[in-house]
Structure 1
């Protein structure tokens, strides 16, 4: 097979690497997730070792002889070394996490707000398009991909909220006041230094919170609930109400503990006391902000926790790990979000803000539409959602994937009107008058094999572009049209 058909584009490859760095599993055990699991596995033994050292030091301190003093010196030295080792390990995890957050920002933010929205749409769409939508690997892939997807939504929702009013808490309010003299949308071009400081003080902590939000689920106590005492149950199974409640408590408790003890404040490197004091103050405040985000996301009400909670709910549905995952239902995601708002679980106005960003159809979703020239040749065509901020929430901005029932890798952009979108019952009903022979003929052209055609509805409401996206030439959906 020719090289242009196989492999990945540079951007798709970067996304896959980033996903592996965050929640991947490998022999290196070097992802954010694996570092947390290692910490949880060694946490108890490290604590027991330090506790024993403390007890021995207290005991020997009461004995006033030369031999005991020598032993005491050795134990105190061992204690310092152990604490220093733990501190260095935490620092390594903190630096690793913050570096990944910067990689995310580089991948999804540009010089202008328009470029940022385009890059974010590409990142979200790529995650959706490389995530399986059928088969046994759906839950595992979605579990791996959720933190990055959620993080990008958090950033874009932050941008939207920064242009509105939100009960943001003292820390975010203070940081926003620093850039109040500038046009937020053009901050990067108006004042690069102010933008970089806002990234460091606000966006990095928000990404940290989004990535770590469910890390406590990998604590041994949580895993016993998810996998059962015998360890043989599926971690994606439906839990009882009591199991779910206990798991939520463990996840929150252990996530916060990991944030404070397993990540902590990055160690200052340098010789200036003044710089060190400023650095430590900034990093301590950032860590407190992450903690505030995680804590307030449990019951966000009207506050800053909504910036974490609402993307969490959205992502949990679009990249669901449940057995009843149904790709066709993804555009119904806001039904669940507004129900949560009605129950007081999140703020309706912030849901409105995310709705304005994404619309009904998630990035990368496969849309089937009736072209405007359909009177001449009854048919439907395939397209993929590729842009954020649709003018009308239920009329997605797409890149066409087929022309005259032939797959192409260089289509143009198209706003799919509701009256042309087969996802909607009224449109499908109007088109259903087409005879079955013609519908079978279309299916034969657009599906890869007979077995696939047997599984498809005669008049499908959407399509799953996963296979289409495996070809390198088809991964350039966001390239500028020349």
Structure 2
């Protein structure tokens, strides 16, 4: 008798993975947001040209009564072509809305605190399904970026609304949107439709122009044999930037448009279209400014994009040790005036040094608060640390043994082995003892690891791959 299949992931992790597949799937031919864009770029121009040709032929036949049958046939063809174009457009819009609503289900709660925790959970889950520099890591990271950026953008805007530091004409209308956390249904709906979905889809589609055949030709080469993540020549890079900008904006303006209205109330319909038209214009302005940096509103996308380029880097020299540089890069760019200091400060307060899902190694303390001569493992599980260098974590080992029900704890900077001075403390323990510790905590420990006996971090993917260990966010600090 066949054993019933059991999914290796819990429900939440399954939902995150399903959403990733809906946006940027492993199989490029699979129906998704990205496949929609590739299809639009590849096929829509010929369909539009066909419609134009039919229209021209109709014009030529209109005065010829002897060819009425041919005229009617062409008219039906034109109608069918236009319907196909419109149906596909509406399907693209509907899919983006569906993706947005699913993302909100996973990262948005009934209260501000629950929303922060769920957002931490979403971002942490994404990081924990990555495997460092395992084979094809760049491709995986590329697929994860859009949704990761989207959640960070939502939380950045919430932070700015909370601080009442938004002056943008469109965003200023939503200063009261945090009332959605007080059970205000009006603001829940208004925020979702007019702010959240434009922000999410703007983040997801920020670089959608790279799916255009001309951009893919540069990335993949004529024979489709080039590494798309290679370092491009300067001329190629500049051309790719132009193509990305042009086709991204084209897709936002011509490839999407307004959703379908369902109902028969004219006043309601007019308001529906007006609301969505304004929201679409905001999204276009948001994405455009992320490219050209004129009004500053684009930094709501640009700052998360820069951060994600480090945390989910696709570069060949990707290293987990470099992940805290995401925080530092944003901080440095703000100091140099390359980013709005207020927005940058709001952002780094959210993320801290260590990304969600980062594997922390630390020195535990005994009942008297004295540091032990060993280290344990923890995973960063909450946004908004009070001190950027002291992450809020879930402890996942005790006395050198993995546990699935560890407590939540703030790991102080003085006990975090990421910082070299703390690693020196354990160097006094002795080589044999450190080898014993590592062999108990790591299934993959081998003699080559002896030179790194006090690791500055650890790789939690294997731990998280066990369904029992995926409930890291059950209890908050």
The more displaced of 409-418 and 49-58 is: 49-58
The 3-state SS of whatever aligns with 1:116 is: helix
Q: How far, CA to CA, are the matches of 1:226 and 1:267 in structure 2?
A: 35
Question: Would the alpha carbon gap of residues 169 and 256 (structure 1) be closer, same or farther in structure 2, given more than 3 Å must change?
Answer: same
Residue of structure 2 in register with 1:389 after alignment: 384
Residue of structure 2 in register with 1:85 after alignment: 84
Q: How does 1:56-455 map to 2 (within 5 A)?
A: 56-61=57-62, 64-164=63-163, 166=165, 168-176=167-175, 179=176, 185-300=178-293, 303-373=296-366, 377-451=372-446, 454=449
Aligned length: 473
The 3-state SS of whatever aligns with 1:390 is: coil
Q: How far, CA to CA, are the matches of 1:428 and 1:257 in structure 2?
A: 52
Residue of structure 1 in register with 2:11 after alignment: 10
Gap regions ≥5 residues in structure 1: none
The 3-state SS of whatever aligns with 2:291 is: coil
TM superposition shift of 1:231: 1.9
TM superposition shift of 1:242: 1.9
TM superposition shift of 1:377: 4.6
Q: How far, CA to CA, are the matches of 2:5 and 2:457 in structure 1?
A: 27
TM superposition shift of 1:76: 3.3
Query: In the TM superposition, what whole-angstrom CA distance separates every residue of 1:328-359 from its partner, at most 9, and x where no partner exists?
Result: 11012122223333454421211111111111
Native 8 Å contact 1:397 1:416 kept in 2: yes
TM superposition shift of 1:456: 6.8
Q: How far, CA to CA, are the matches of 1:165 and 1:83 in structure 2?
A: 46
The 3-state SS of whatever aligns with 1:431 is: helix
Native 8 Å contact 1:167 1:303 kept in 2: no
Q: How far, CA to CA, are the matches of 1:293 and 1:39 in structure 2?
A: 22
TM superposition shift of 1:167: 5.7
Return the TM-score normalized by structure 2. 0.93
TM superposition shift of 1:471: 0.5
Root-mean-square deviation (CA, aligned residues, Å) is 2.4
The more displaced of 274-283 and 122-131 is: 274-283
Question: Would the alpha carbon gap of residues 48 and 123 (structure 1) be closer, same or farther in structure 2, given more than 3 Å must change?
Answer: same
The 3-state SS of whatever aligns with 1:169 is: coil
TM superposition shift of 1:113: 0.4
Residue of structure 1 in register with 2:31 after alignment: 30
Native 8 Å contact 2:397 2:406 kept in 1: yes
Q: How far, CA to CA, are the matches of 1:405 and 1:4 in structure 2?
A: 32
The 3-state SS of whatever aligns with 2:170 is: helix
Question: Would the alpha carbon gap of residues 454 and 190 (structure 1) be closer, same or farther in structure 2, given more than 3 Å must change?
Answer: closer
Native 8 Å contact 2:360 2:380 kept in 1: yes
Native 8 Å contact 2:408 2:475 kept in 1: no
- Would you say 1:475 and 2:476 are equivalent positions? no
Question: Would the alpha carbon gap of residues 277 and 302 (structure 1) be closer, same or farther in structure 2, given more than 3 Å must change?
Answer: closer
Return the TM-score normalized by structure 1. 0.92
Question: Would the alpha carbon gap of residues 399 and 53 (structure 1) be closer, same or farther in structure 2, given more than 3 Å must change?
Answer: same
Question: Would the alpha carbon gap of residues 47 and 452 (structure 1) be closer, same or farther in structure 2, given more than 3 Å must change?
Answer: farther
Question: Would the alpha carbon gap of residues 248 and 455 (structure 1) be closer, same or farther in structure 2, given more than 3 Å must change?
Answer: farther
Gap regions ≥5 residues in structure 2: none
TM superposition shift of 1:65: 2.6
Question: Would the alpha carbon gap of residues 366 and 270 (structure 1) be closer, same or farther in structure 2, given more than 3 Å must change?
Answer: same
Native 8 Å contact 1:155 1:207 kept in 2: yes
After TM superposition, the runs of 4+ consecutive aligned structure 1 residues lying more than 4 A away are 2-6, 165-168, 374-377
Native 8 Å contact 1:440 1:458 kept in 2: yes
Native 8 Å contact 1:155 1:203 kept in 2: yes
The more displaced of 152-161 and 327-336 is: 327-336
The 3-state SS of whatever aligns with 1:295 is: helix
The more displaced of 78-87 and 210-219 is: 78-87
Q: How far, CA to CA, are the matches of 2:64 and 2:440 in structure 1?
A: 91
The 3-state SS of whatever aligns with 1:480 is: coil
Native 8 Å contact 1:5 1:473 kept in 2: no
